[in-house]
Amino acid sequence: MAHHQHVGGSKQPDVDPARAGQVDQTSTWTRRAFLGAAFAGSVAAPAWARPQVPQIPPYEPRDWSGLDPIRYPDRDIIALDPRFRRYVLFNTPITRLHVGTLWAEGPAWNGVGRYLVWSDIPNNVQHRWIEDDGRVTVFRDPSGYSNGNTFDHEGRQISCEHGGRRVVRYEPNGDVTVIADRYDGKRLNSPNDAVVHPDGGIWFTDPPYGIRGNYEGFRADSETPPAVYRVDPQSSQVALVTDDPGGPNGLCFSPDYTRLYVADTGSGRDIRVWDLDGPRLRNGRRHVELRAPGTDTLVAADGIRCDVDGNVWAGAGEGVLVIAPNGDTIGAIRLPERCANVCFGGARRNRLFMTASQSLYAVYVGVQGAGIA
């Protein structure tokens, strides 16, 4: 197991977006900051069919220890469109809360315990960052090579396990309830991420990434195609709702639960959206095809979350991209590592947590997260 070191965990006060200063100047991004996130062989659309690529200065390394404070506004919180300026707080920095994981994933906020839980998949553990004093502890060991985590409306944790090829729920008495491990009599691949609807239904993605080798699970043959599923809260029946994405990954509901967004890291390499029709999906379509800011390079979203204004915040390449409800990419957050996933948390749910490769990062933003976890 890797050595874990707590870095830069000093607690910051909650920021009231209505009173904090806002950035009113568009910041910029770099080509080489996102170059590593590109997918080889991607074909760009004709130049005449795309907006002009903004000119963005290079990413500059920074001291993440907190001993050398940066000047406000944080240069790595970037408005690519004027619509993003309202979400950029003038007087807050991106901070690193922990370093020492191998591949950080699946952040979820527990509002009662005031802690963040996230997965370190290769190390087969879950960690917990505690808001009271910034401590990081091992939360669950072993974790079943868990990936995505969330909490239901009763406060119970739900985790997607690569190792057991299943979705589980941890009960208040310590029992583990298997939510789903098979569909039509066949084993699932490696459930990746899950969200809970107010009606109690649990929706999850099931790509084969966790069974392709022995690093993030156990190598095995796939018995079912990649798909998105829904578990009925009354019958516990597992229903396939779509197998359209070639690599269904992160997923989230819109704030009003009328839409479901799914990040496709397969052949589509985009974020897709469907309209909800009760327990079914209809009118599936592309929501956005992401490009590294300042370049024509395609990047794929991994984990995604919605805010209360309907924007989608996506871990994509070396940072976070923010997509408006109409599909425009309006903002970005630069990190020095590949960012896999994000979630909103804190007492006012206005703090964005980012699991990025070996580290956990956070930044206050001028909007609250939608949903409960």
Q: Which residue has the higher pLDDT, 53 or 87?
A: 87
Q: Cα angle vertex 148, ends 161, 89, to 5°? A: 165
Instruction: Indicate the residue type of 129.
Output: W
Pairing verdict, β 329-334 and 319-323 = antiparallel
Q: Residue 255: CB partners within 8 Å, gap ≥ 6?
A: 306, 307, 308, 309, 310, 370, 371
Q: What is the pLDDT of residue 5?
A: 41
pLDDT digits (tens, 9 = 90+) for 276-317: 999 999 999 999 999 998 888 999 999 999 999 999 999 999
Domain map (residue ranges) of the chain:
5-364
How distant, in Å, are the alpha carbons of 29, 91, 130, 131, 364 from that of 68?
A: 22, 16, 24, 23, 19
What average pLDDT score do residues 60-89 get? 95
Q: In this predicted structure, which of 37-41, 68-72, 354-358 has the lowest mean pLDDT?
A: 37-41
Compute CA 244 distance to the chain's CA centroid, rounded to the nearest angstrom. 21
- Cα distance between residue 135 and residue 133, in whole Å: 6
Pairing verdict, β 301-306 and 194-196 = unpaired
Q: Are 180 and 356 in contact (CB under 8 A)?
A: no
Q: What's the whole-model pTM score?
A: 0.86
Among 251, 301, 289, residue whose Cα is nearest residue 37: 301
Q: What is the pLDDT of residue 41?
A: 38
pLDDT digits (tens, 9 = 90+) for 217-255: 999 999 999 999 999 999 999 999 999 999 999 999 999
- Class for the domain spanning 5-364: mainly beta
How distant, in Å, are the alpha carbons of 31, 203, 232, 307 from that of 58?
A: 7, 39, 48, 29
Token pair 């300042």 in the structure block, residue: 294
